[in-house]
């Protein structure tokens, strides 16, 4: 079963921040803001990505949020203002989720 996932992070050091972004892309997620990814993952892959992120961060200074959503809950999300970084997200990507 796949779930829609938001990954949001605040990582102090450049190297682990870049490695988290690389892992998110490797898992097939789409960057929608500088430190925000969105995509679909199998439930087991969600846990795997969570463990990889935990291995990359400093738990004293960094934070990573992994939010799973079912399709029905996702339809109720409201995006206000600019929402997505227009340089990173095109209409084709948005059509996959909204």
Percent of the chain with pLDDT over 90: 59
pTM of the complete model beyond 0.75:
yes
Rounded distance, CA 27 to CA 46, Å? 9
Tell me the pLDDT tens digit for each residue of 46-72.
999 999 999 999 999 999 999 988 777
Q: Where are the domains of the chain?
A: 14-69
Supply the pLDDT for residue 20: 97
Supply the pLDDT for residue 28: 95
- Complete edge-to-edge strand list for the sheet that includes strand 2-10: 30-33, 36-42, 2-10, 63-69
Could you tell me how far CA 46 lies from the centroid of its own chain? 10
Average pLDDT over residues 81-88: 73
Please check whether residue 53 is in contact with residue 9, taking contact to mean a CB–CB distance below 8 angstroms: yes
CATH of 14-69 given 3.40.140.10, 3.40.50.620, 3.30.360.10, 3.30.70.240: 3.30.70.240
């Amino acid at each position: 079963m796949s779930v829609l996932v938001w990954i949001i992070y605040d990582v102090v050091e450049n190297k682990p921040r870049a490695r988290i972004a690389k892992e998110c892309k490797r898992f097939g997620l789409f960057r929608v803001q500088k430190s925000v990814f969105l995509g679909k993952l199998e439930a087991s892959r969600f846990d795997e990505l969570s463990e990889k992120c935990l291995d990359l961060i400093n738990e004293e200074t960094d934070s990573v949020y992994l939010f799973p959503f079912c399709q029905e809950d996702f339809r109720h999300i409201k995006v206000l203002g600019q929402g997505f970084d227009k340089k990173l997200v095109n209409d084709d990507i948005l059509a996959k989720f909204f």
